[in-house]
Amino acid sequence: MSDIAGKIAWVTGASSGLGWRFAQVLAQTGAVVALTARRVDRLEALAAELTAAGGRALVVPADTTSVEQIRAAAARIEAEAGPIDILVNNAGISRQAKLENVSEDDYDAVLDTNLKGPFFVAQAAARQMIAHKLPGRIVNIASVASFRTLGQQAPYGMAKAAMVHMTQDMAREWGRHGINTNAICPGYIRTEIAGDYWATEAGAKLINGLPRKRLGEPRDLDGLLLLLCSGEAARFINGASMTADDGMCAW
C-alpha cells in the first residue's frame, strides 16, 4: 500500500485501543498522522512513539461530540500538515445496561460519540477533500453490533447500525468527488478498554461462545485498514461495510 506514504491521515479516538493501533499502522506506512482524542497526555505519548520510530505525527486534541471542536481540529490539520487525504473515523464508547435501565445521559453520550461525532468528523474531512479535489478515503469504524444484537448494548448497536447506513449515504453522495467511504465492522477485539472483563468468568464464558473461542487482536484489522485507505487498491470499493469478526456474524 505504498500510495499511502505522504498522505495526511486523521485518526479519531487515537488515545487508546484500536485508534492507537490504526495510527501506528498508518505512520509505519508513511502517512502523516493527525491524532485526535480528549486525553492530551496519551496523544503526546503516541506522537512521541511514532516520531521515535521515524514516523510523522500531529497532536490535535478535540472532543468529537462538539461540532465546533471538530471543525477547529480539521482546520488546524489543514493549516499545519495539509488537506486531509484519509480519515479513520474511530472514536466511540459503550455503556452497558438493560433496556429498562438505560439513562438519558448514557443514551446521549453513546449516540453523540458514536454517531453524531463521526458524521460531523466525516463532513469536515470531506469538505477539504472536495475543495482540494482529492481522491479521499474515509473509513468508518462500526461493529458487528451493526448487524446483530449484543447483550445490554442497545444504544451502541443502534448507533453502529446507523453508521453503516451513514457510510452508504456518504459513498453515494461523495463518490462523484472521488471519495471512497467504507466501514470496518470488528468483532470482539482485545484492547485495554475491556481488558479486565475478559479475565472474568463472564468474559471467559463469552469467549467460549465465539465460533473459534478466541478474541481478535488489534493487528487483525491491519490489512483491512490498509486496503481501505489505499488509493489504488480500494479504487472500486465504495459503500462497503466489511466484518472482521472471525465468523461471528455467520455463526
Which amino acids are annotated catalytic?
156
Cα angle 78, 58, 108; round to 5: 80
| Spatial distance between the Cα atoms of 170 and 49, rounded to a whole number of angstroms | 33
Q: At what angle do helices 104-111 and 154-174 cross, to 10 degrees?
A: 30
| Spatial distance between the Cα atoms of 94 and 112, rounded to a whole number of angstroms | 11
| Spatial distance between the Cα atoms of 135 and 233, rounded to a whole number of angstroms | 13
**11 and 19 Cβ atoms separated by less than 8 Å:** yes
| Spatial distance between the Cα atoms of 201 and 189, rounded to a whole number of angstroms | 18
| Spatial distance between the Cα atoms of 26 and 7, rounded to a whole number of angstroms | 9
CA distances from 143 to 92, 140, 148, 163 (A): 11, 10, 9, 9
**25 and 222 Cβ atoms separated by less than 8 Å:** yes
